[in-house]
Amino acid sequence: MKMKLIIPLMVLLLSACVKLDVVPTNKFTDETYWTTEDKANSVLSMAYRQMFTSDYFMLNEILSDNVYNGYGTTNEKVISLGLADASNERFASEWKACYEGIKTCHTFLANIDRVTTISNELKEKRKAEIRFIRASLYFELTTWYGDVPHFTQDINLTESKGVERKPQAEIMAWIHQELDEAAAVLPKREDYKAADNGRITSGAAIALNARAYLYESNWAKVAEYCGKLINSTTYGTYSLFNNYEQLFWVKNEYNPEIILSLQYVPVNRTWPNLRDYAPMSAAARLCLAGPTQELVNSYLMKNGKKWTAADPDYAGRDPRMGATIVYDGSTWIDRKGNTYTIFIHPDGPASPDKYNGAGTLQTPTGYYYRKLCDPDPAAYTGGGWESSLNLPLIRFADVLLMYAEAKNELNEMNSTVWDQTIKKLRQRAGFDNTPEAMDLPGNDQAVLRDVIRNERRVELALEGLRIFDIRRWKTAETLLPQERHGAKFDKINGSYNYIKLPAGSFNRNRDYLWAIPRAERLLNEKLTQNDGY
């Protein structure tokens, strides 16, 4: 059973509450609202909703080299082209959403002790959940903007107009401490009842802390925290799910690989984004963005060798490619169980999925999304693309990849670590049992770095993490300005060539941080701006 995330309308009134000398009886105030566990849970549920969004989950891929936005122009495309200024709506919306979520967390922490019907033990667990959410929101903020205002209790309007940015290093130190303290209180995944599936666990706190250390390149701490989940069951027992494609289906969404996911439930809370990424023949609305040829090229052959132009375009590849990307000739299973072939090539049979060039409703790259497209009709509401699938935010596969990367950077990569991490991922994916696919490829740190980074790209493709990786590796400045490509569907001089897509832009002196939103600086003159905006 999914944890319910239905928010009563009364919660929305909380932001307007004013504490008076005489407690009114005809409106909600702190004194009159915080009377029952259900009301407290409503605010907690609101915080869960504000932790992240399906929009950012999908659109973050457009910021990277994995996906190209061909239809229309999103805020993310403007950013990727280097044309964004401090008025860009994504800069403003991300900032606003995070601080709204932080306000909800502060409201909960300031008032939960008013509820007398909840045991102290349960209150501490709920506080730990809220502290995790608040830490994750500050982590999101400081990752994008660097130094940001940081406060641990609610502030009033006057105070908000004078708050200054705190150094990122100080915020990160606070995040680490918060997550450590939350992990000490939160239950393991196994200790939750089915009705509480989806709640934040001690394992999630450890995993998010590992990711926070990863973004700081603190390799010793990354290895330490990942090791707590790989080599111990103190914070829960996690393992890889046995089927990569079905890992992202509703019927398997609480499998032991999922450490943290964004929760959705039928009818009451769904997400519609796949209607702009799935094949047109599957009743999609349009193709907003499609996977790039560069992403396709990064998938190895099943025997472990790198793909070359002499190899078949799609046959014999890492099975994760077919489970992630729809290419010409792919098999699609519709929600009635019917199987048909997807035709995208311009010279192929008549099909609504055909590549028709730039700016059309069809794919701009010759590829569509398959990952997250559950064929079960029960995963959707109303017969369309309103999905109730939980979106994975942290998987155990990510923990294995973080551990492998950290061990390599520490010059501690060996066959034992390799077998614990990359080999397990490739075995689950369905690689051939060949030395090139399964064995540690030597001990050259630079070679292993490329292998691990590529493995991370293909394993986590289309899950919104690539942009953060290329930013922390400082490779965004070389990757994003390069011309991108789509499938070999562009007919020039009588023969087909790879579709040429416009290069992005990335200013190494500016774009590793986002602009502090202009509107926020107009409200608060003490907010300084990041360089270059």
Whole-number pLDDT of residue 114: 96
Please state, in angstroms and rounded to a whole number, the distance separating the CA atoms of residues 114 and 280: 53
Give the residue, 22 or 362, on which the prediction is more confident.
Answer: 362
Q: Where are the domains of the chain?
A: 9-243
Please state, in angstroms and rounded to a whole number, the distance separating the CA atoms of residues 166 and 177: 16
Say if residue 513's pLDDT is above 80: yes
Burial class (CB in 10 A: 0-12, 13-18, 19+), 338: exposed
Whole-number pLDDT of residue 180: 98
Which residue has 């489970």 as its token pair?
323
How large is the average pLDDT for residues 105-128? 97
Whole-number pLDDT of residue 2: 60
Please state, in angstroms and rounded to a whole number, the distance separating the CA atoms of residues 94 and 144: 9
How large is the average pLDDT for residues 344-360? 95
Say if residue 5's pLDDT is above 80: no
Q: How high does pLDDT run on average in the chain? A: 94
CATH topology of domain 9-243: 1.25.40
Whole-number pLDDT of residue 378: 96
Q: For 20-24, 355-359, 391-395, 496-500, which range has the lowest pLDDT when averaged over its residues?
A: 20-24
Sign of CA dihedral 363, 364, 366, 372: negative
Whole-number pLDDT of residue 249: 98
Amino acid at 204: A
Whole-number pLDDT of residue 7: 39
How large is the average pLDDT for residues 409-428? 98
Please, what is the angle between helix 168-185 and helix 202-215, to 10°? Answer: 160
Distance of CA 19 to the CA centre of its chain: 38
- What pTM value is reported for the model? 0.94
Please state, in angstroms and rounded to a whole number, the distance separating the CA atoms of residues 477 and 464: 18
Q: For 265-269, 428-432, 450-454, which range has the lowest pLDDT when averaged over its residues?
A: 265-269
pLDDT tens digits for 456-484? 999 999 999 999 999 999 999 999 999 99
Please, what is the angle between helix 202-215 and helix 120-145, to 10°? Answer: 20
Amino acid at 258: I
Say if residue 319's pLDDT is above 80: yes
Question: What sections of 253-318 are H helices per DSSP?
Answer: 293-297
How large is the average pLDDT for residues 112-120? 96
pLDDT tens digits for 129-182? 999 999 999 999 999 999 999 999 999 999 999 999 999 999 999 999 999 999
Contact 41, 112 (CB under 8 A): no
Query: What's the pLDDT band for 492 if we cut at 50, 70, 90?
Result: confident
How large is the average pLDDT for residues 21-40? 71
Please state, in angstroms and rounded to a whole number, the distance separating the CA atoms of residues 162 and 149: 10
Write the DSSP symbol of residue 283: T
Say if residue 92's pLDDT is above 80: yes
pLDDT tens digits for 33-66? 999 999 999 999 999 999 999 999 999 999 999 9
Q: For 1-5, 115-119, 486-490, which range has the lowest pLDDT when averaged over its residues?
A: 1-5
Strands 325-326, 368-369: pairing is antiparallel
Whole-number pLDDT of residue 32: 85
Query: What's the pLDDT band for 3 if we cut at 50, 70, 90?
Result: low
526's tokens:
């003490």
Please state, in angstroms and rounded to a whole number, the distance separating the CA atoms of residues 151 and 309: 54
Sign of CA dihedral 369, 375, 380, 382: positive
Residue partners of 321: CB distance under 8 A and separation at least 6: 296, 299, 314, 327, 458
H/E stretch holding 138: helix 120-145
Instruction: Compute and round to an integer the Cα radius of gyration of the chain.
Output: 24
